[in-house]
Structures are given as structure tokens and as C-alpha cells.
Amino acid sequence: MGLRIDWARATDECVTHLRELIRIPSVNPPTLRDGAAGRDPAGGESAAARYCAEVLSGAGIHAEVLETEAGRGSCFARLPATIDTPEPPLILLSHLDVVPVDAEAWSRDPFGGELVDGVVWGRGAVDMKDMVAMELSVLLALRRSGAELRRDVIFAAVADEEAGGRAGAQHWVDARPDLFASDAGPAAAALNEVGGYSIELNRHRYYTIQVAEKGIVWTRLRATGTPGHGSMPHNDNAAEKLAHAVSRIASAQRPARVTPLVRDFLAALGLGEVAELAERTPNAAASALERLVDDPVLRRSFDAMLRDTVTPTVLQAGSKVNVIPGRATAELDVRTLPGTDPAELLASLQHIAGDLATVDAVMSMPPVEASAQAEIVELMRVALLAADPDATPLPMMITPGTDAKALARLGIPTYGFAPLRLGADVPFLALFHGHDERIPVSALEFGLPVLFEVVHRFVSAPA
């Protein structure tokens, strides 16, 4: 690197930032006190944004907190280019909100930010306050290095990602596109969550570089019936009709469709057999996946890359035990592959539900794909191999959605790259939105200089 950076100090700072951010209960929705372990989450996103702004401002980096409404704040900061004719910026993108917790199911305080035996515990440790802390630390290290910059580096830690970004990235892309650009034009790239983590398969370590993600079609089912007294059952019960409709949809087989990126990814993992069988003989593909991948969460992740998925998540019917409800609703988390027509998929779900319920999209966002051959992807690959020469970095598609969808509307390619070297005993994917969310300090210690290397090489001016 040629730069003198005290990585032990930087890692300690990163861990401190992560723990402080976890202690801010920025639960989304912010009205859900029961989901914040007894704390009041109102204003949590703005409080987290202010924390980031204060850290950056203290280092001489201009930062501001912008709110879409009271308490729904995002932090934007900028380290400006130092040359006369700069190139388009790089965005360090993250989100400040976290999903609710079931505190009784946790081993430790979900918002305690505890550091125990080299592991940081708390909601957001994985999704994604670890990346917020890493990006804060990278920007601070870049500032302290005094490096000449050929691009602005934009820090964007936003609200509301967990609910689609209407009070965060989606809003600011529409209202303030200048936040994601410079005089040289829209950002050349953004670095975001999820990708960069290691997985171990057949005694080999791989690092995932996220270049694509599935689409989202959050969907609502509505069933209607005839209300009445619970002591006199009848066949027009909205709750029963909804239950049957949800059961039909959940159990319906979703056909596999292997995209080129996923085919290459699985082949590189030694799972080419799964990709070859998936479309022709799905039962054989499932058997092969079971045989070749021991980790059940990893199996589910790979399987979800092969098809559109429909997951029932919310059921609501009735208000009193002795009243037959006249209305019932369910919400489905629908994720779509690149190339899926959402209207056709919804029509197929309506066909399955029949006259038991109506099917309507609540919010729809398309899949996004960026080039796996881009300059910044090659920098990721080189930096990972320098830090872990025995591993293999691989471009991949993730099954969740991120704020990459918002930036795509500005033509900004977004890559998931939160580099973490994880032991085989860390159930990383299971910790997203799960109980006992936690991250080893050793993973941050590995990832921080790797992330810095990529950012530094992409933004620094030639010597």
C-alpha cells in the first residue's frame, strides 16, 4: 500500500463504532417498541446518523444529517478529490436501520453492543452496522493518510433500507441526486453490504463478490367472508379461506431457471451438477445439493438463486376469539430472478389462490446486475487474494435486496463488498434477521484493510 496506517488502532476504532451504533435502537419500523427490547426506537435512525456525522466531522470531514421526516435521518459526507480534473465519485453505501428483535430468544442484550471473547453481539452486528463502522473507519484512514484523490469519496449511511428505502435511499435518489454525484457526473460505483464474506465448501474457502441481486415484489393476499358468531361455524370464513390460499401458494413448486452468473458461480464452487440438473430434473438437483453442501442455510441460499421464491411472512385475521372474521390478509415476500415478468408471476399466484383470495403487489423493485468485469471488481479480487492467497473470490448474485436498487435508477453500479474472513463455526447467513446476531472482531480485523485497499486504489491519484 505504501501508506502508514496503524491497523490495530483502526480496528479498535471500528469495533468501538460498531458497538456504539448497536446501542442505538434504530429499529424499523420506528413505532414498534416491542421490537426494540423495551427501548424506544423513535428517532433511532437519526440518532445513528448523528453519531456518524459527529465522528466524521471530528476528523475534519464535512457531514450532514438529512431527514425525510422527524427521526428518519441519513448521514451524507464527502471527502473531495484533490486533483484539478477529478473522475466520477465512489460511494460508500450502508443503512442504519435494523429489523425488530424477539429479546427473549436472545442470549444477550440485543442492543447492548457487548464485546465477549472477541465477538461483538447485537442487532446490526451483521446487517449491517458492521459495514457502517468499516466504511467510517475507511474514510477516516483515507483522510489521515493524506492521499491525493482522483475521485470524491461519498459516505451515505441511510435510513429505511429494511422497508424498501422510501424514507432513505429511494427518497434521496429522487429528491437529491446530487448527493450521489460530483461535477464529474454520477458516481462510478458504490460499495454496499452482503458480499465479500467467506464461505467454506469442500475444505476450500471462497469469497463472494456481489454483482447482482434478485428483485422484490412484496405481495398482499386478501380474503373476504361472512362474519358471524364463532359458536356457529360456516364455510365462508375469511380466515379459513386465507389459510387455504396461503398453503396452496407456499406449497406450489417454483420452476428453476439458471442465470449465467449463477451457473458460473455454482460451477466454480464445484456444484455444476446442481446447475445442470436444476431445470431438467429438479428432484435430482435437490438431491445433489443435499449431498454436496452440508450447511442447510447455505443450501437454502443456493436453491433460492435458482428460482423465484414466495415466502408467507405475515398473517392477519380476526380480532376476537368468538367472532368469525369477514376479512383476512397475508403478506408474501416474493423474490424474482433477472428476466422474470412480475405481472406474469402475480397472475400465476392468483391462479393458484383461485377464488379464495385476491393477489396484489404492494411494492415492486426490479433485480439489479452490474458488470463482473469492472475495474473495481478486479481490485476486490486482487485485494482478497493478497490477504488470503489460498482462497478463491467469485462474483455472485444475492437473494435479498438492498439499496443498490435505488442507485441503479441513477445508473450507478453497486457491488456488495463487506469483506469478512469467517470461521466455519460462524453461522453468518443465518444471523441476517436472526437471533443472537454477532460478528467476530477477527473478521473485521481481516476485512478493514482489504476494504481500504480497494477504496484507496480506486480513488487515489497516480503517484
Per-residue pLDDT tens, the chain, 463 aa: give them. 457 899 999 999 999 999 999 999 999 999 988 999 999 999 999 999 999 999 999 999 999 999 999 999 999 999 999 999 999 999 999 999 999 999 999 999 999 999 999 999 999 999 999 999 999 999 999 999 999 999 999 999 999 999 999 999 999 999 999 999 999 999 999 999 999 999 999 899 999 999 999 999 999 999 999 999 999 999 999 999 999 999 999 999 899 999 999 999 999 999 999 999 999 999 999 999 999 999 999 999 999 999 999 999 999 999 999 999 999 999 999 999 999 999 999 999 999 999 999 999 999 999 999 999 999 999 999 999 999 999 999 999 999 999 999 999 999 999 999 999 999 889 999 999 999 999 999 999 999 999 999 999 999 998 7
Spatial separation of the C-alpha atoms in residues 312 and 246, rounded to whole Å: 7
- Residue showing cell 467467506: 198
Distance separating alpha carbons of residues 143 and 147, to the nearest angstrom:
7
Count CA atoms closer than 13 A to 38's CA, side-chain side. Answer: 5
Q: In what order do the strands lie in the sheet with 438-440?
A: 115-116, 119-121, 438-440
How far is 303 from 160, CA to CA, in rounded Å?
28
CA dihedral 194, 198, 201, 203 (to 10 degrees): 180
Predicted model pTM: 0.94
Q: Does domain 215-365 have CATH number 3.30.70.360?
A: yes
For residue 132, give the amino acid letter. Answer: V
User: How many residues are there in the chain?
Assistant: 463
Q: Are the CB atoms for 282 and 253 separated by under 8 Å?
A: yes
Q: How far apart are CA 383 and CA 377, in angstroms?
A: 10
Residue 170: Cβ within 10 Å count: 22
| Cα–Cα distance measured from residue 194 to residue 237, given in angstroms and rounded to the nearest whole number | 42
Give all strands (DSSP E) within 337-403, no chain letters: 358-365, 368-369, 392-398
Determine whether domain 7-211+368-459 maps to CATH 3.40.50.1970: no
* Identical fold between 7-211+368-459 and 215-365: no
CA 217 → CA 158, 399, 432, distances in Å?
A: 22, 13, 20
Which candidate, 76, 80, 97, places its Cα nearest to that of 88?
A: 80
Q: Could you state, in order of their start, the residue ranges of all structural domains in the chain?
A: 7-211+368-459, 215-365
